Amino acid sequence: MIKDLEAAIGYRFQNLTLLQNALTHSSYANERWHNSLLSNEWL
């Protein structure tokens, strides 16, 4: 899926962890992972 996104936008992400954090909403992180997953709010 990430490779498809990269191909579509013509950009290769260097830090996939940062990308995951940027795309994760805080409500999902809190409900699903009990605050063990970072969300995009800190960005």
Cα–Cα distance, 20 to 40 (Å, whole number)? 9
> Tell me, what's the pLDDT at 43?
61
Whether residue 1 has pLDDT greater than 80: yes
> For residues 30 and 3, which has the higher predicted lDDT (pLDDT)?
3
Cα–Cα distance, 29 to 35 (Å, whole number)? 6
Q: Where are the domains of the chain?
A: 14-43
Report field, pTM of the whole predicted structure over 0.85:
no
| Span 5-42, pLDDT tens digits | 999 999 999 999 888 888 777 776 666 655 555 666 76
Residues 35/18, Cβ–Cβ less than 8 Å: no
